[in-house]
Chain A
Amino acid sequence: MSLATSTIATLRRRLAAKEISPTDIVRDLLARIDSVDPRIQGYLRVNAADALAQAADADTSKPLGGIPIALKDNINQRGEGCTCASRILQGYTAPYDATVVRKLREAGAILLGRTNMDEFAMGSSTEHSAYQKTCNPWNPDCIPGGSSGGSAAVVAANEAIAALGSDTGGSIRQPAALCGCVGLKPTYGRVSRYGLIAFASSLDQIGPFTKTVEDAALLLRVISGHDPMENTSRPVEVPDYTAALPQPIKGLRIGIPKEYFGAGMDPEVQSAVRAAIDWYAAEGAEVVDVSLPHTSAAIAVYYIIATAEASANLARFDGVRYGHRSASAADPLTCYKNSRAEGFGPEVKRRIILGTYVLSSGYYDAYYNRAQKVRQLLRRDFEQAFGKCDIILTPTSPSPAFKFGEKTSDPLQMYLADIYTIAVNLAGVCGLSLPCGFTASGLPIGLQLIGPHFGEAAILQAAHSYETAHDWAARKPELA
């Protein structure tokens, strides 16, 4: 078996047995990247020399010793570019490591390269990257999902063993579903965002993309934990997620929210998710009906709160201290306006304007404050549902991967692609997507498992039992 197609768990065993070296793994991945990435275009940059140097020094006794990991290009890695796939950060070099990067280094991981994304993580297809179009490894005419489309695509195409992404409204889970890998959005406060370039601070979380649930458990443990540099990270103990995996699911109460099974769902997605529910029931899990009554308001709430926060967070990109400065800047105000006009793409501009508008005098109460109130109701929905069940099961995305250009002309249609993932961020709970089947045309379908605050162990456990009883993870995209 090629090293590039292996999991973290397998590579760790083989490294421990001295059958292979970290350099073997990096060389295999670099060869794979050379052969498939010109078509997939999942990476913005790969630092081959640096990856080989890290491999030469890797300590394989550490939890991720010698394992190459790809990073979404909005996570600061000292000495590397960090563009957020935006022109405005072209030429910027990160002067420090994000906390997750420091933790990966301390765990012995090899930082392999930087992955493509929607500009500033705003989008659901990675089509809003200012640099390149990433293709879905299962069908090059389809989008990989977004905003962490590059991270999902390189893991699915076996160009990385695992990757990190960020999830503000579904940006890990939706591309994981569309590319057929495992993606986990941890509980708000589980993973430090220090060094993640902020999009919407009350929603952003960093999380793993992996080939298996076991790998997600390993990687999550490494990146989790309290960070004095990040005031929303919580001092909650990080459990040994791997140890929880083999526990039986008999008696596990799985909630099925009726609002997530209404109109608008692709029939093939519907039948794959229904089959997964039936499997859980047959295995002795208790399937219970729950209700999340404010679900239909989630996207409206999100596009007020996320854009409001983005308009404030992106104010720092003004052409002064870093990034692009307009050549036509004769005075400070023109410098700000023109640098931003030249540096930001259309979706970012659209969201900055919407966010500025909903926060502006006279509209704040009608939009922002009202959205905050409905957000509380969405939170209560989850609290009440988790009184009746241990985890919640839904589809990850209403449809499999769509074609390039299908939703770019109508931003609202693109926003609606996040219908099943967005409420999880608004409520601050955790969610995981794993493969649960394929369409007749061969596109992956994702199953979402949602857990309560700091309930990652329960969703990992439930996902692991499903995964080991099915062979979806063994299917690989045909990339000649």
Chain B
Amino acid sequence: MKTETIDVAYVAGLARLQLTPQEEALFQQQLGNILGYVEQLSAVDTSSVPNDPIDPHLPTNVLRTDEERPSLDREAILANAPKQADHLILMPKIVE
């Protein structure tokens, strides 16, 4: 692990997060400190751990029987949408 400077604006774009220039500058410095701190993990000997560690305590592929059951209330769900009409959630236009 080597210290990298986070390109905050680029990563924020990946995360779909608009930042102000002030936030970018602040996070640049704060996240730099945090990454400096986590650097210590490179000194830990992990040779005894398999390369793709699987958590033995986590169940995988848990299935339940495919039974009909009541779903959530449609009106209550739609009522939470910022914009809606005719039982549809409205979004800004994607194509002109």
Contact = CB atoms under 8 A, between A and B. Distances in A.
Interface of A: 91-93, 95-96, 188-189, 202, 228, 231-232, 234, 294, 296-297, 299-301, 303-304, 311, 315, 318-325, 329-338, 340-341, 344, 346, 349-350, 352-354, 356-357, 360, 363, 366-367, 369-377, 379, 410-412, 415, 428, 453
Interface in B28-59: 30-31, 33-34, 37-38, 40-42, 44, 46, 48-49, 52-53, 55, 57-59
Interface string B64-77: 10000000110011
14 contacts: A93-B80, A95-B72, A95-B76, A189-B57, A234-B59, A301-B41, A315-B16, A320-B82, A340-B16, A344-B17, A352-B17, A356-B12, A356-B14, A367-B38
B16 to A, nearest CB: 4
Contacts, number: 155
Given A297-B44, A324-B82, A303 B16 contact: no
A245 B41 CA distance: 40
Contacts of B77: 95, 321
Contacts of B93: 331
B59 A353 contact: no
Contacts of A356: 11-12, 14-15
B92 interface: yes
A394 to B, nearest CB: 21
A95 B12 contact: no
B25 interface: no
Contacts of A315: 15-16
Contacts of B53: 372-373, 375-376
Contact of A303 (B8, B34, B59, B64): B34
Contacts of A376: 49, 53, 55
A349 B19 contact: yes
A340 B72 contact: no
Contacts of B55: 202, 376
A232 B55 CA distance: 12
B39 to A, nearest CB: 8
A350 B35 CA distance: 12
B30 A341 contact: no
A353 B8 contact: yes
B14 A349 contact: no
Given A304-B38, A334-B92, A341-B19, A349 B80 contact: no
B59 A321 contact: no
Give chain B's interface residue range (CB within 8 Å of chain A): 35 or more
Contacts of A357: 6, 11, 31
B89 to A, nearest CB: 6
Contacts of A366: 1-2
Given A232-B58, A232-B59, A331-B92, 8 more contacts: A96-B72, A303-B37, A320-B89, A321-B89, A337-B17, A338-B18, A340-B15, A349-B19
A95 B34 contact: no
A303 B31 contact: no
Interface centre among B31, B34, B73, B83 (most CB of A within 10 A): B34
Given A297-B44, A300-B38, A411 B30 contact: yes
A336 B57 CA distance: 35
Nearest to B76: A95
A53 to B, nearest CB: 20
Contacts of B48: 377
A332 B31 contact: no
Given A300-B37, A325-B83, A332 B15 contact: no
Nearest to A375: B53
B17 A202 contact: no
Contact of B37 (A92, A228, A232, A412): A412
Contact of A363 (B4, B16, B17, B81): B4
Contacts of A188: 57
Contacts of B49: 373-374, 376-377
Contacts of B76: 93, 95
B96 to A, nearest CB: 10
Contacts of B44: 294, 297, 374, 377
B62 A330 contact: no
Given A340-B18, A376-B53, A332 B38 contact: no
A322 B17 contact: no
From B44, B49, B52, residue with most partner A Cβ within 10 Å: B44
B41 A374 contact: yes
Contact of A92 (B1, B58, B80): B80
Contact of B17 (A349, A360, A379): A349
B49 to A, nearest CB: 4
Contacts of B89: 320-321
A367 B1 contact: yes
B79 A93 contact: yes
B57 A95 contact: no
Contacts of B85: none
A318 B16 contact: yes
Contacts of B79: 93
A375 B77 CA distance: 38
